[in-house]
Each structure stands twice: as C-alpha cells, then as structure tokens.
C-alpha cells in the first residue's frame, strides 16, 4: 500500500515515521523544497516532492497541513488522485472541514489524532507520538464503510485508541479539553509576564506552573486557527469558564471558605476519573 502525506510538519512527519516502520511506502508532499529534502534525509518518507501530482498512484492520503489549507488541498488532490484513493485529514477542527472535503471527494474520512507537542515543524516530529493516545474519526452518514475501515486499520497500527463521533460533537468536546486550555494557558502567562511581580514570580515558578501553562505556550498559528475555525464552540466554552471564574471570585470576596473548600474538593475528586477514567 502506498501512503501519501501532505504537510511534513509535526503531525505529518510523525505519521511518516510510524507508518514507514510498518513497511508502507510513504510519498510526502510539503510546501518547501528544504522540508522535502530534510524528510528524505531523516527517513520520514520514502519519496518527497513539492508537487501534489506526485501522489497520482497512492492509495490513501493523510492531509496534515494547517487547518486553513486542508479543504483547498483536498480540492487540488481531487484533480490528481486515482478514483479509488482515500483521503483523510488530521485537522484539530472537523465541522469546517468534513462536509466541504466530502463534497469534493466522497472517499474522505475526517480524523484527528489527540496528541501533540508545543513545537511545530518537521524537526519536532517523533516516533510513537500517537501510541496509546485517542484518535477520533468523524465520518458522515454517506462516508463509504470501506474508507472508514481502511483508515481505522492504519490508526490501530499506530497503537492509537479509536473514537468515532460526528464533526459537531467532536468540535464541542475539543473546545473544552483542547482549545479552551490553550486560551487559558496563554492568558495565565500574560497575567504573569505583565505583572510587576514578574521577576520574582518567574524565579519561584516550578513544576505546577510548568504544567498549568504548558499548552498556552504552544504553536501560535495552530491556536489562532483553532479559534477561527471552531469559534462558536470555543466562545461557548469561554463563557462557561467565565461563569466559573465569576462564581469563584464571589466565593472568595464573600470569604465563603467552606464553599471554596467544597468547590476544590469536587475538583480534587473529579480529576482522577475525568483524566484517567476512560
Ligand atoms: P506544523 O508542524 O506547522 O506542520 C504543518 C506543515 O505543513 C508545515 O511544516 C508546512 O511545511 C506544511 N504546509 C503548510 N502549508 C502547506 C500546503 N499548503 N501544502 C503542503 N504543505 C503545507 O503543524 P502540525 O502541528 O503538524 O499541524 C498540522 C495539522 O495537524 C493541523 O491541521 C493541526 O490542526 C493538526 N493537529 C495538530 C496537533 C498539534 O498538537 N500540533 C495535534 C493534532 C492535530 P513546510 O515546511 O513545507 O512549509
């Protein structure tokens, strides 16, 4: 089986490394020639080009470009792939992608691996990035089951945990657990870096602050595209968070220490089940 990967960055490069290990021929396409050369020299792909026409003979393509380029890439692939080829994507937002991509290529299966890193680009690509991590597929009613089965088979070979849902549910869920935390992490960093206590706070910051702020310091292009393409769900999540903050502020203003302890006890008890209880 020949696999194409468009966009040889963190996610595309990591897919190339793991799928190459499974013995597949990997045909990579990226925007810059220098990235194609680096992907070849790091054995991320077996063939590399800046031209989508190089994918004419592949059986399945992962589109791993920034979110804004996914649907335009599918439109270009539709002119170049063989009719039986399957296209899947890895974009962090599905509502803005899946219906439009399916209209261009019926053999399209929306996907989203729930694993990443703060760093971007091919140099950040790593083996086993998807191992034991959730990988969501968001097929539509009309998505051919043969295409879903083929993508599922590859996801299982990556060692990922498969979840299947619809694009809208996916977008509302990731707004809560991925896109909202990016905005909260970034605003926490702003509070600290603009404070007159910045210097001492920085010296005292330890593992707790490192954990809490980590996702706020990630790829700014990705964070902006998450907000742009998942705007309603992110705004709803931000509104819920503001409501929680307002309640907490009131509790502290009123010196309601037993109320605060009950709130923090609920968080203490809920976290293990929420984080580890899949
Ligand atoms: P990334 O590291 O910035 O990689 C994207 C790569 O795509 C860039 O390195 C660029 O390569 C290439 N590219 C850009 N526009 C292109 C185009 N029009 N045609 C072909 N290649 C193009 O980003 P990423 O983190 O891998 O994210 C890629 C996708 O994965 C996004 O849709 C994102 O939503 C999704 N995702 C990201 C994460 C995460 O945590 N990072 C997790 C899950 C899913 P050149 O060097 O050639 O310019």
pLDDT at position 194? 97
Residue 59, Cα to own-chain centre: how many angstroms? 24
142, 102 contact by CB (below 8 A)? yes
Residue 160, ligand 1, Cβ within 6 A: no
State the Cα–Cα distance between residues 191 and 118, nearest whole angstrom.
20
pLDDT at position 239? 98
Where would I find the H helices in the chain? 10-21, 33-41, 70-77, 95-104, 145-157, 167-174, 180-193, 198-204, 207-213, 220-229, 231-253, 257-276
pLDDT at position 215? 94
pLDDT at position 277? 83
Indicate yes or no: pTM above 0.85: yes
How remote is the CA of residue 171 from the centroid of ligand 1, in Å? 19
CA distances from 249 to 24, 253, 261 (A): 55, 6, 14
Residue 6, ligand 1, Cβ within 6 A: yes
pLDDT in tens, 208-257: 999 999 999 999 999 999 999 999 999 999 999 999 999 999 999 999 99
The closest of 35, 51, 64 to 222, measured between CA atoms, is: 64
Q: Cα-atom radius of gyration of the chain, to the nearest Å?
A: 21
pLDDT in tens, 49-68: 999 999 999 999 999 999 99
How remote is the CA of residue 130 from the centroid of ligand 1, in Å? 16
Count, residues in the chain: 278
Give pLDDT < 50 ranges for the chain.
none
């Amino acid at each position: 089986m020949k696999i194409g990967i468009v966009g040889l960055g963190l996610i595309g490069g990591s897919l190339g490394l793991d799928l190459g290990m499974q013995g597949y021929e990997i045909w990579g396409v990226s925007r810059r020639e220098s990235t194609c050369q680096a992907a070849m020299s790091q054995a991320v792909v077996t063939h590399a080009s800046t031209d989508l026409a190089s994918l004419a003979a592949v059986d399945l393509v992962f589109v791993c470009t920034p979110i804004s380029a996914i649907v335009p890439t599918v439109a270009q692939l539709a002119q170049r792939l063989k009719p039986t080829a399957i296209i899947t994507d890895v974009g962090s937002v599905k509502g803005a992608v899946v219906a439009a991509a399916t209209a261009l290529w019926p053999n399209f299966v929306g996907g989203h691996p729930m694993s990443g890193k703060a760093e971007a680009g091919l140099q950040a690509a790593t083996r086993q990035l998807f191992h034991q991590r959730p990988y969501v597929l968001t097929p539509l009613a009309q998505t051919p089951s043969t295409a879903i089965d083929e993508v599922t088979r590859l996801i299982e070979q990556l060692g990922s945990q498969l979840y299947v849902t619809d694009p809208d549910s996916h977008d509302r869920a990731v707004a809560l657990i991925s896109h909202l935390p990016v905005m909260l992490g970034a605003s926490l960093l702003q509070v600290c870096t603009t404070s007159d206590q910045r210097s001492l706070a920085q010296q005292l910051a330890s593992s707790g602050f490192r954990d809490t702020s980590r996702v706020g310091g990630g790829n700014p292009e990705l964070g902006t595209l998450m907000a742009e393409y998942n705007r309603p769900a992110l705004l709803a999540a931000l509104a819920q968070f503001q409501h929680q903050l307002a309640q907490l502020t009131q509790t502290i203003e009123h010196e309601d220490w037993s109320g605060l302890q009950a709130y923090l006890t609920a968080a203490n008890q809920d976290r293990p089940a929420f984080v580890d209880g899949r």
